[in-house]
A and B are shown apart, each in its own frame.
Chain A
Amino acid sequence: MNNNKSFKKSLGTGLAIALTLFVFAYAFQVTDVDFGTTRDEVRQTSITRVLRALAHPDIFEYETKELNVEIPFYLPCSESEMTTPDAFPADEPFLKASAYCGEASDAITIEGFNMPTYTTGPVFFITSSGVKKQLDNFQTDADGYFISEIELPNRQPVAEAQAIRATVRTNVGAPKWSDNAIATWDKIIETIFIALLATFIGTLIAIPTSFVAARNLMVENRSPLTSIAFSIIGWIIGVWTGLQAAQRLVALFAPVNENLLLGLGGLILSIGLLYGILRWSMPTEDIEKPSLGIRILSSLGIALFGIATLIFFGASFRTLGATLIEPLGIFGFLGNFIFQIGEIIVMLTPGLIAVVVGAILGNILSKLGQRTSDNMPAGQVRLINIILASLAGAVLFVLLGSVVEWFYQLSNPIKTLYWPAGVGAALGLVLALLSPAKNALPTGMIFYSITRTILNGTRSVEPLVMAIVAVIWVGIGPFAGSLALALHTVAALAKLYSEQVESISAGPIEAVQATGANQLQTIIYAVVPQIIPPYISFTMYRWDINVRMSTIIGFVGGGGIGFLLSQNINLLDYRAASAQMLAIAVVVASMDYISSVIREKYV
């Protein structure tokens, strides 16, 4: 019995070992493992050459001085006009040869004296017309002496004296940065800023996203179907109206683009009005809730002057920046910065207006839906639900259909318009029929799942692939790299952040909610203080990764040092490439160190 067991056990072990061997054998096969090639002589010399080049990074260069020491030489020997050196100077470099004339292929010994010590250099044969042919390399010893065996070249016989020359190059003066070092420096700075920008923008977007992607913050957000359907319809109408209005408004405000004073004046005025309205509509403490009229008026005012501020902001910053670039001289980049900020605002304005109008309308309608659901009898609510949910479902699916249309250009309204509308309406109808009329549906969890899905999808795309797409969009250069890295940073950080939010203690949240705080206040007072240390730690970690990534994102045209590196590798200039690798190593190591110090300090 016992024997049997141990036999089985050893059989199992044997099989496992055999299987492992088999797996590894197959792995060798598919990965083309061939250690024979490593012994190949040609390959060995090339790897030696490359490794030696890598060990000599091209960073410094010197002014060089060339020392040429010559002796006359006759090939072939000519009796008539041969001159041979007879006296040798005591402390100047000179050459001595075993013979001063000879036939092609003769072996001759050359000795050098008083040369610079411990240097190397070539020995040339110089023809009468000045053509050089290298015969050997020499190496001097502590006394500046060398000896070299050469074989005379096979040349057309010439009567006049030709020469054998030893050349030594010596560095003079202080070392200077080589061109390659300067280019490397430029690009490594660019690399660091790509990482900085990507991390900053990515973090900025990832923080709010992480709250939506945190289960514990979203799980309590529920609303009844009536309110959801109302709010979807409100959002869609609002966004559409907002986009239309934005076009008109941007056209209306076009003169502001030309006139800087108008722009700045408008900006100051609208910020002032916005602030005034905010102060007026929201007293520092509200004991009584303001009346509905006042609330509507103030939100309209806020929306109006908010939009005006946005438009003036974009326009005036653009003009201001553009006019500043010239006068600022070398600080022109500050002007460009202002201009680009304006440009970002201008780019975002229509979208922001659409979102604002959508949010207002969606909110109002959602409240209306909530009231309807709270105050009407269940039968009527169900009827309203059936109509509205079908409508909302149809509209949502038509939107999806138009996305499909954009990608695949089916040009077939049956497939991208009628079918989606029908399916959406049917789904809405089913939902309205199945769920109890007044039940609150988990809207928070829906947002949570959508955000999580998008984040997971985005995260699984490598930044290098994103960079390829970005390069096509905005062209080769660091901007493409920053965009790609920023996008990946959002996805990666939002996930990590949201896991931190999910692991915070619920007690403080409960306590702050109990005081009557709203959701945003709860996040700021109970959630944020708890997540600051892990957020800092993860941001530093990501900054680290982004520095690494930005060093290679140039391989696909994303700017930074990677571009230089790949170029030099392709040109087989390994000494230059070595300088870039060194720069990358230094930067990555120091970022590593800095981030660990910061993490230790704040966490």
Chain B
Amino acid sequence: MLEIKNLSKRYEGGPLALDDVSFKVPQGEFLAVIGLSGSGKSTLLRCINRLIEPTAGDIIWNNINVTQASDGELRTIRRKIGMVFQHFNLVNRSSVLTNVLSGRLGYVNPAMSFFNKFPQNDIDNAYKEMERVGIAEKAHQRADELSGGQQQRVGIARAMMQKPAIILADEPVASLDPVLAHSIMQHLEKINKEEGVTILCSLHFLDLVHRYADRAIALNDGKLMFDGPPSEIDDDKFREIYGKEAERVG
């Protein structure tokens, strides 16, 4: 169970990017986060693993207060939370295998990892994860030699190496074409259904939300505007979330 309590974030000198947001996510749920550009979706997801320090509020995960954790504790929390990014955030000049293995950095002996040495067990798992998303034969290629869809699969494999309880996916398909988008979303869905990993995924397209999410929350200007099953997003709700002039597409 992940619980967000009265979370607020104010960037230095800016307005509130998150304004008193509270919600709960039961383990194993597929939660979509929707909202206009600039509404605070990325900020919310990054606050959960404290890539961004929240200004106020608490994040409680399995009775651990993430916001109060010390640096060392935070690292042990982070290693159970995988993250997938819109721009993949792979290390371009490293091999696909190294990128995937870097998902284990929170677990392995730091001294060994300085020399790029990982336990055999991890290497075997890395191949399994790459096979699951269909990029095993690319293991020794440089990450930037892969297409966008392939790179995002590397991103998913990296997150899965963490044996995560939660995956935070920040617009994982926004820079991919619709066909690839579905393939990536299906990988996430599979991970969600088969491994019981909680998924928090921000999305731009409502049809993807309807198709994959168990539940959706919507942000507008940092405020929580909606929390419920995607089917409840009717035209009125839609205007509330996206503004009066917005038109439904797709």
**A285 pairs with B89, CB closer than 8 A:** no
With a cutoff of 8 Å between Cβ atoms, the chain B residues found around residue A515 in the complex are 78-79, 82-83, 102-106, 158, 161-162
A285 to B93 CA separation, bound complex (whole angstroms) = 26
With a cutoff of 8 Å between Cβ atoms, the chain B residues found around residue A370 in the complex are 70
**B105 pairs with A521, CB closer than 8 A:** yes
Give the nearest-CB partner of A516 in chain B: B106
- Whether A530 contacts B108 in the complex (CB less than 8 A), given A374-B70, A511-B85, comes out as no
Judge if A297 is at the interface, Cβ distance under 8 Å. Answer: no
**B91 pairs with A508, CB closer than 8 A:** yes
Give the nearest-CB partner of A287 in chain B: B107
- Whether A526 contacts B91 in the complex (CB less than 8 A), given A514-B49, A516-B78, comes out as yes
Interface residues of B in 90-110 (CB under 8 A from A): 90-94, 98, 102-110
**B114 pairs with A507, CB closer than 8 A:** no
**A516 pairs with B111, CB closer than 8 A:** no
Q: Looking at A374, A516, A520, A533, which has the most chain B CB atoms within 10 Å of its CB?
A: A516
Judge if B113 is at the interface, Cβ distance under 8 Å. Answer: yes
With a cutoff of 8 Å between Cβ atoms, the chain B residues found around residue A512 in the complex are 91, 102, 105
Judge if A41 is at the interface, Cβ distance under 8 Å. Answer: no
Give the nearest-CB partner of B75 in chain A: A516
- Whether A285 contacts B114 in the complex (CB less than 8 A), given A518-B75, A530-B91, comes out as no
Q: Looking at A287, A507, A514, A524, which has the most chain B CB atoms within 10 Å of its CB?
A: A514
Least CB distance, B43 to chain A, in whole angstroms: 13
Judge if B68 is at the interface, Cβ distance under 8 Å. Answer: yes
Least CB distance, A439 to chain B, in whole angstroms: 12
**B70 pairs with A511, CB closer than 8 A:** no
Give the nearest-CB partner of A511 in chain B: B89
**B93 pairs with A289, CB closer than 8 A:** no
With a cutoff of 8 Å between Cβ atoms, the chain A residues found around residue B109 in the complex are 282-286
Give the interface of B toward A (CB within 8 A). 49, 51, 68, 70, 72, 75-79, 81-83, 85, 87-94, 98, 102-114, 119, 121-122, 155, 158, 161-162, 168
A516 to B79 CA separation, bound complex (whole angstroms) = 5
- Whether A284 contacts B114 in the complex (CB less than 8 A), given A514-B51, A514-B78, comes out as no
- 10 residue pairs from A and B, CB less than 8 Å apart: A285-B109, A289-B76, A511-B158, A514-B168, A515-B104, A515-B105, A516-B78, A521-B105, A529-B92, A529-B93
**A525 pairs with B105, CB closer than 8 A:** yes
With a cutoff of 8 Å between Cβ atoms, the chain B residues found around residue A514 in the complex are 49, 51, 78, 81-83, 168
**A517 pairs with B102, CB closer than 8 A:** yes
Q: Looking at B78, B109, B155, which has the most chain A CB atoms within 10 Å of its CB?
A: B109
Known: A285-B109, A514-B82. 13 other contacts (CB 8 A): A285-B107, A285-B122, A374-B70, A507-B88, A510-B51, A510-B85, A514-B51, A514-B81, A515-B104, A516-B105, A517-B105, A520-B110, A524-B114
Q: Looking at A510, A511, A518, A525, which has the most chain B CB atoms within 10 Å of its CB?
A: A511
**B92 pairs with A517, CB closer than 8 A:** no
With a cutoff of 8 Å between Cβ atoms, the chain A residues found around residue B83 in the complex are 511, 514-515
Q: Looking at A284, A370, A374, which has the most chain B CB atoms within 10 Å of its CB?
A: A284
Give the interface of A toward B (CB within 8 A). 278, 282-287, 289, 370, 374, 507-508, 510-518, 520-521, 524-526, 529-530, 532-533
A378 to B105 CA separation, bound complex (whole angstroms) = 36
Least CB distance, B240 to chain A, in whole angstroms: 32
A374 to B65 CA separation, bound complex (whole angstroms) = 13
Least CB distance, A148 to chain B, in whole angstroms: 76
A525 to B77 CA separation, bound complex (whole angstroms) = 20
Least CB distance, A146 to chain B, in whole angstroms: 74
**A284 pairs with B68, CB closer than 8 A:** no
With a cutoff of 8 Å between Cβ atoms, the chain A residues found around residue B103 in the complex are 515
With a cutoff of 8 Å between Cβ atoms, the chain A residues found around residue B104 in the complex are 285, 515
Question: Across chains A and B, which 5 residue pairs bring their CB atoms closest together, nearest first?
Answer: A516-B106, A516-B79, A507-B89, A517-B105, A511-B89
Interface of chain B, main secondary structure: mixed
Give the nearest-CB partner of B88 in chain A: A507
A17 to B83 CA separation, bound complex (whole angstroms) = 65
With a cutoff of 8 Å between Cβ atoms, the chain B residues found around residue A284 in the complex are 108-109, 112, 119
**B78 pairs with A285, CB closer than 8 A:** no
**B107 pairs with A286, CB closer than 8 A:** yes
With a cutoff of 8 Å between Cβ atoms, the chain B residues found around residue A533 in the complex are 93
**Which one of A286, A287, A289, A507 contacts B87 once the chains associate, using CB atoms below 8 Å?**
A507
**A508 pairs with B110, CB closer than 8 A:** no
A525 to B78 CA separation, bound complex (whole angstroms) = 17
**Which one of A507, A518, A525, A530 contacts B85 once the chains associate, using CB atoms below 8 Å?**
A507
With a cutoff of 8 Å between Cβ atoms, the chain A residues found around residue B91 in the complex are 508, 512, 525-526, 529-530
With a cutoff of 8 Å between Cβ atoms, the chain B residues found around residue A283 in the complex are 109
**B113 pairs with A513, CB closer than 8 A:** no
**A285 pairs with B119, CB closer than 8 A:** yes
With a cutoff of 8 Å between Cβ atoms, the chain B residues found around residue A517 in the complex are 75, 102, 105-106
Least CB distance, B56 to chain A, in whole angstroms: 14
Give the nearest-CB partner of B84 in chain A: A511
A327 to B92 CA separation, bound complex (whole angstroms) = 52
A517 to B168 CA separation, bound complex (whole angstroms) = 17
With a cutoff of 8 Å between Cβ atoms, the chain B residues found around residue A508 in the complex are 89-92
A513 to B75 CA separation, bound complex (whole angstroms) = 8
- Whether A521 contacts B113 in the complex (CB less than 8 A), given A286-B107, A516-B78, A526-B91, comes out as yes
A284 to B109 CA separation, bound complex (whole angstroms) = 5
A490 to B246 CA separation, bound complex (whole angstroms) = 57
Least CB distance, A536 to chain B, in whole angstroms: 12
Least CB distance, A376 to chain B, in whole angstroms: 14
With a cutoff of 8 Å between Cβ atoms, the chain A residues found around residue B94 in the complex are 525, 529
With a cutoff of 8 Å between Cβ atoms, the chain B residues found around residue A518 in the complex are 75, 105, 110
With a cutoff of 8 Å between Cβ atoms, the chain A residues found around residue B89 in the complex are 507-508, 510-511
